Amino acid sequence: MTGLIERPGNGAVRIPAGRLLIDGDWHEAEGGRSLPVFDPATEEQIGAIAAASAADVERAVQAAHRRFESPAWQNMRPIDRGRLLERLALLVERDADELARLETLDNGKPLWVSRNIDMPFSIDALRYYGGWSSKLAGEYIALNPLVDDGATYRAYTERRPVGVVGGITPWNFPMGQAVQKIAPAIAFGCTIVLKPSEEASLTTLRLGELILEAGFPAGAVNIVTGLGPEAGQALVDHPLVRKIAFTGSTATGQRILAASARHMKRVSLELGGKSPTIILADADLDKAIPGAANAIFANSGQICTAGSRLLVEAPVYDAVTRGLAEIAGSMRLGSGFDTSTQLGPLISARQIARVSELVATGLAQGAEPLAGGTRLPGKGYFFPPTVLAGRGNDLAIAREEVFGPVVLATPITDSRQIAAMANDTVYGLGASIWTRDLNRAHLLASQIDCGTVWINTHNVLDPAMPFGGTKLSGIGREFGSEALHAYTEPRAVCMRLE
């Protein structure tokens, strides 16, 4: 099923053909197998994507490996790889509105978010990594041999691409996540086979069309859609895939890490989170309360760094929770194509069932509902912004990642326990601190065990700033100079000079 989908006030949205991009051309999946694609705002089927088999993944990996080993790719000037990414950035920029509408149709997020966040981030990331491609450098090392044999020794290092990369992306930011895997792989001289989430693959397939238009060599970027247990597992298990770059759930990341040990694959895993939003008593509440709302409700809570644990010093706890509940109750849910919509739907029937179950369990265990709490009636996977109040960390909803617009508020009665409360989780992805006292903010930030601490803001990301987590939130970092280490390995060359 392909063609045009009409949405009121926004014209037709073109659905790309749901095929596999392998070795520079589009292919049907083995046996013609496919998966339906649904609009999460209406539950209507809007298309279909190919369901890749292990044999399809084999063809894609072989194509990526041939390209990586080819003299043309090995000898391509780094600056020319950067030009490929810049050409792709120009094409994404040209078609940004079309891509944004497709993202909103497939994912459900408000169109203004797709236009003003997802597309600009994708364009910036392509350009950022395009610039990095020509900046690879090693280092000179002065050696001191243990045995003086009268010779002079010199050594240097060089950064070498790891090889074929298997990229696996989630459904919450489909376009940005695809770029997040493709751009550094190409910039640093790797080739890639990308498997997007089966629940939101359309913009990645449209990106594949632009990759061909930009003139990427056949096999440099391959896109295989399908199910994780089949296509994703085949990618993880393939011996020619030297690195897996995965963003998704902790449980899946753990399985990938275990499977990667067989071939000693390099991995970067950006996984789940249970990030605290910490509001201290001296915070500017006119900024902290809407900041806390944005931390958890943005993208309908479907953000790995969502501030799903709200820790508030007792003197301002009532004011903060009251203000947050008021914001939650006033937010408008609806189709992403409606200009008044502030929150779109969750991605799928499965996801809304999970969120509903976790909230119901939290209420049964004693959490107090301050706003929201149950699925909205009618078509579409809409769950309202939900604020719960509860003490202690024994509630399931205090420990488990919800990945929905649900926050649990807890008062801080002893300021000496703030860091301990923030760290009382198996995750360590992000945290934010809201205070006027920057001295206290910096001291507290140094005690929180996570990959990113924001001060008086939350969820600010930039391609130049490293991103990743500690504990069960993952291994490795994306973005910034850290990506250089994620997609390359050092090689030392040692010389004996007479």
Q: Which residues are catalytic?
A: 270, 304
Q: Are strands 276-279 and 488-497 parallel, antiparallel or unpaired?
A: unpaired
CA dist 293 and 298 (Å) reads: 8
Contact partners, residue 410, CB within 8 Å, separation at least 6:
309, 310, 311, 312, 389, 390, 391, 392, 398, 421
Map tokens 């990642």 to a residue: 401
- Looking at residue 30, the DSSP 8-state letter turns out to be G
* Spatial distance between the Cα atoms of 53 and 393, rounded to a whole number of angstroms: 42
Nearest Cα neighbor of 286 from 324, 315, 314 is 324
CA dihedral 256, 257, 260, 261 (to 10 degrees): -150
Distance of alpha carbon 222 from alpha carbon 23, whole angstroms: 7
* Structure-token pair, residue 69: 């080993």
Q: Is the separation of the CB atoms in 424 and 410 below 8 Å?
A: no
Measured CA to CA, the distance from residue 223 to residue 70 in angstroms comes to 20
Specify the pairing of strand 25-27 against strand 266-270.
unpaired
Q: Distance between CA atoms of 336 and 272, rounded to whole angstroms?
A: 25
Which residue matches tokens 């945290």?
Answer: 431
Element (H, E) at 350: helix 349-364
- Letter for the amino acid at 181? K
Instruction: Determine if residue 11 is left, alpha or beta; phi over 0 gives left, psi from -120 to 50 gives alpha, anything else beta.
Output: left
CA distance 481 to 468: 13
* Beta bridge mates, 3: 15
The CA-atom distances, in angstroms, between 447 and each of 279, 417, 432, 433, 462 are 16, 11, 12, 12, 23
- φ, ψ of residue 282 to 5 degrees: the values are -90, 5
| 166 close to 236: Cβ distance less than 8 angstroms | yes
Q: In 365-417, which ranges are continuous DSSP H helix?
A: 396-399
